[in-house]
Structure 1
Amino acid sequence: MKITIVAGARPNFMKIAPITHAIDNAREQGKEISYRLIYTGESNDSSLEPSLFVDLDIKKPVAYLGVGFEDLTQRAGGIMIAFEKELKENPTNVVLVVDDLTSTMACAIVAKKQNIKVAHLVAGTRSFDMSMPKEVNRMITDGLSDFLFTAGMGANRNLNQTGTGNEQVFFVGNILMDSLRYNRNRFIKPITFDILGLKEKAYILLTINRHALLENKENFKLLIESLIAESKGTPIVAPLHNYVRDVINELNIKAPNLHVLPSQSYLSFGYLTSKAKAIITDSGNIAEEATFLGIPCVTLNSYVEHPETCSIGTNELVGEDAEQLGNAMAKILRGEWKQGGLPERWDGRTADRIVQTLLQQV
């Protein structure tokens, strides 16, 4: 069986890496299975730092479609044209797409038009907000997929409500936990950790990625100032992309305990995540990792892709409300945060379940 795996952005590789490891293991056991890893962007994409593939212990993509339009419609069209050529030149049995990007939807459409089976990894997630492009991508991709791999029973229910057949849905768990389990002993302490005099479980990790959060600069400033005020001097470590650092500099946000760092490699960022006292983030992926690691987490959003992080895990939503963020910080520092647990099948063995399913079904 031949599988074409599609990545459309850097975060996809954290979910793809365990799949490639599981395929390699299955092949070593004599199974007839192989994969071809494709990246829809350009080979010189600045978001793919040279260390990424070494950190994840995977091979680089064998092909780059080279599509990088800012406009989502142009991007979808460019990817569809390039991916159609890729599939004609390199026939496959299954196209595996990840998450909810424009590339996810575009490649799923092309595969189905060529009568190729589609597997959707992290299927069934919903915001129920059709004004979000990602929600449209999710709906279309799920509707086209032959294999829908879900991380939780909430996602199963979402699919069931849209009429998806139960025989197409496979509750396999959260693939991000596979990457954490595989790499936890490989994490690398950043040089700045000792330079700043940081201590394990004695600092707050802050991550910001959503452009929408930065658009209201006045409110963003209130959020960061609330975090600083309620931290009571606890170091705040913030590895941020350039566009976020620019906003912080523009707003002249400064504090002795706020340490703004450049973006970190996967293994260095993993170390900072795993050793933090608490995490403040706008990323659903990081909230999921915090749940696996048992670390208190506050998410600056009004919804989360995997509600299990809140209902079972260590995560709580505060929207974009500075007062709620301050209250959450105070609760963390008082040691009153909920203990949390591990959702079902978030055990680091999701990739094995996926590969086994494909071997049985295709």
Structure 2
Amino acid sequence: MKITIIAGARPNFMKIAPIIRAINAAAKVGKNITYRLIYTGLKNDTDLDPSLFIDLDIAAPDAYLEIQSKNSIELAALILMAFDKELTNNPADVVLVVDDLTPTMSCAIVAKKHGAKVAHLVAGTRSFDMDMPKEVNRMITDGLADYLFTAGMIANRTLSQTGTDNKNIYYVGNILIDSIRYSRSKLIKPVWLSTLLPEKQEYILLTLNRRALLDNKKNLQNLISVICKSNLPIIAPLHPYVQDTLKKLQIDTTNLHILPPQGYLSFGYLLNNAKAIITDSGNVAEEATFLGIPCITLNNYAEHPETYRMGTNELVGEDPEALDRAMQLLLNKQWKTGEMPERWDGRTAERIIQILLDSEK
């Protein structure tokens, strides 16, 4: 079985790495399985720091499509053409795509045109908001997929209710947890952390990335002010454009420490040792649930509702008052105790590869 794996952005690699390790393990015991890893972006993409593939214990991509565009329609069109050439030159039995990006949808379309089967990793997530470009990507990709690998029963129900054949739906668990469990013993303490917090102080980890949140400057200022009222150190490893946005707010505080983005293992250390996490990232909320760390998400929506229905996550939207109430619960040690969703056990990749191998029999 020849599998082509698609990555469209840095976060995809955290979910792809366990799949690659499971393929290598299967091949090592004599299974007829190989993979080819494709990154749809640029080879010199600054998001793909050299340490990423070392940290994840995988090889760098076999090929780069070298496509970049801020216009989603143009991006889709360019990827369609580039991936068509890639699959023509390197045919695959299965094309595995991840999440809900434009490259995810585009490569799924090309795969079906080439007669390859499509495996969608993290299928069945929905916001039910058709104004979200990612929602369109999800629906198209799920509609084309031959294997729909889901992280929870909520996703299964969503797919069933929209007419997906149940025989194509596989509840395998959360692939992100595979990466956390694999890497947890190898986390790297950032060298600057002991200087910044010399007495091993408790801290809150803050991550921000969502453009809609950042564009509302006045509300963002109110949110950051609420966060900084805690008096705990706020460790905020942020991309340059987010740093610039926060600095322009000119918030007068001494406990907000804005830092550059961290490598995967260093960020994992900050995550693993935080008193609490405030984020707008679904992936970070999932990791927090696995680690049992209180998490406040600045969004009204979560890809995996399990994080707030069962786990340690709470959604406060972009509402400073809701954030303030959540912060009070956190600081008064009244945060709920989460529990682990079923099959978030670090063996998702093994299940996926076994299903693919069994389907060939």
Q: Is the TM-score greater than 0.5?
A: yes
Q: CA deviation at 1:234?
A: 0.8
Q: Contact 1:95 / 1:116 at 8 angstroms: preserved in 2?
A: yes
Q: Contact 1:201 / 1:277 at 8 angstroms: preserved in 2?
A: no
Q: What does the per-residue CA deviation read over 1:88-130, in whole Å, with 9 as the maximum and x for residues that have no partner?
A: 1001100000000000000000000111100000000000000
Aligned twin of 1:357: 355
Q: Contact 2:194 / 2:200 at 8 angstroms: preserved in 1?
A: no
Pair 1:199–1:80, CA change in 2 (3 A)? farther
Q: CA deviation at 1:254?
A: 3.6
Q: CA deviation at 1:203?
A: 0.5
Aligned twin of 1:125: 125
Q: Distance in 1 between matches of 2:199 and 2:6?
A: 39
Aligned twin of 2:223: 223
Q: Contact 1:200 / 1:277 at 8 angstroms: preserved in 2?
A: no
Question: Which structure 2 residue ranges, 5 or more long, are not aligned?
Answer: none
Q: Distance in 2 between matches of 1:155 and 1:121?
A: 12
Q: Distance in 1 between matches of 2:126 and 2:206?
A: 25
Q: What does the per-residue CA deviation read over 1:115-167, in whole Å, with 9 as the maximum and x for residues that have no partner?
A: 11000000000000000000000000000000000000000011001100110
Q: Select 1:293's aligned residue among 264, 274, 291.
A: 291
Pair 1:190–1:311, CA change in 2 (3 A)? same
2:304 alignment partner, SS class: coil
Aligned twin of 1:44: 44
Q: CA deviation at 1:31?
A: 0.4
Q: Contact 1:237 / 1:258 at 8 angstroms: preserved in 2?
A: yes
Give the residue type in structure 2 aligned to 1:127.
S
How many residues matched?
A: 360
1:301 alignment partner, SS class: coil
**Aligned residue runs from structure 1 range 26-37, under 5 A:** 26-37=26-37
Aligned twin of 1:270: 268
2:97 alignment partner, SS class: strand
Q: Contact 1:9 / 1:41 at 8 angstroms: preserved in 2?
A: yes
TM-score (norm 2): 0.99
1:119 alignment partner, SS class: strand
Q: Distance in 1 between matches of 2:279 and 2:197?
A: 23
Q: Select 1:243's aligned residue among 222, 236, 241.
A: 241
**Aligned residue runs from structure 1 range 51-130, under 5 A:** 51-130=51-130
Q: Distance in 2 between matches of 1:76 and 1:347?
A: 34
**Aligned residue runs from structure 1 range 246-257, under 5 A:** 246-257=244-255
1:191 alignment partner, SS class: coil
Q: CA deviation at 1:201?
A: 7.3
Q: CA deviation at 1:29?
A: 1.0
Q: Distance in 2 between matches of 1:201 and 1:154?
A: 38
Q: Distance in 2 between matches of 1:263 and 1:274?
A: 16
Give the residue type in structure 1 aligned to 2:303.
E
Q: Contact 1:156 / 1:171 at 8 angstroms: preserved in 2?
A: yes
Pair 1:142–1:198, CA change in 2 (3 A)? farther
Q: What does the per-residue CA deviation read over 1:223-250, in whole Å, with 9 as the maximum and x for residues that have no partner?
A: 0001111x1x111100001011101111
Aligned twin of 1:335: 333
Give the residue type in structure 2 aligned to 1:95.
V
Aligned twin of 1:196: 196
Give the residue type in structure 2 aligned to 1:86.
E
TM-score (norm 1): 0.98
Aligned twin of 1:149: 149
Q: Distance in 1 between matches of 2:102 and 2:21?
A: 26
Q: Distance in 1 between matches of 2:203 and 2:214?
A: 24
**1:15 and 2:20 are equivalent in the alignment:** no
Q: What does the per-residue CA deviation read over 1:309-353, in whole Å, with 9 as the maximum and x for residues that have no partner?
A: 001100000000011111111111111000101000000000000
Aligned twin of 1:171: 171
Give the residue type in structure 1 aligned to 2:62.
V
Question: Which structure 1 residue ranges, 5 or more long, are not aligned?
Answer: none
Pair 1:85–1:95, CA change in 2 (3 A)? same
Q: What does the per-residue CA deviation read over 1:20-40, in whole Å, with 9 as the maximum and x for residues that have no partner?
A: 000000011110101000000
Q: Distance in 2 between matches of 1:317 and 1:302?
A: 6
Pair 1:340–1:199, CA change in 2 (3 A)? farther
Aligned twin of 1:283: 281
Pair 1:290–1:201, CA change in 2 (3 A)? farther
Pair 1:199–1:323, CA change in 2 (3 A)? farther
Aligned twin of 1:137: 137
Q: CA deviation at 1:198?
A: 5.4
Q: CA deviation at 1:255?
A: 1.3
Q: Distance in 2 between matches of 1:254 and 1:94?
A: 53
Q: Distance in 1 between matches of 2:256 and 2:80?
A: 44
Give the residue type in structure 1 aligned to 2:40.
T
Q: Distance in 2 between matches of 1:125 and 1:347?
A: 19
Pair 1:143–1:198, CA change in 2 (3 A)? farther
Pair 1:244–1:319, CA change in 2 (3 A)? same
Q: Contact 1:124 / 1:155 at 8 angstroms: preserved in 2?
A: yes
Q: Distance in 1 between matches of 2:252 and 2:262?
A: 21
Aligned-residue CA RMSD (Å) = 0.9
Q: CA deviation at 1:192?
A: 1.6
Q: Distance in 1 between matches of 2:299 and 2:212?
A: 10
Give the residue type in structure 2 aligned to 1:159.
L
Give the residue type in structure 2 aligned to 1:299.
T
Pair 1:198–1:348, CA change in 2 (3 A)? farther
Q: What does the per-residue CA deviation read over 1:267-299, in whole Å, with 9 as the maximum and x for residues that have no partner?
A: 000000000000000000000000000000000
Q: What does the per-residue CA deviation read over 1:183-202, in whole Å, with 9 as the maximum and x for residues that have no partner?
A: 00110000121011256571
Q: Distance in 1 between matches of 2:13 and 2:198?
A: 29
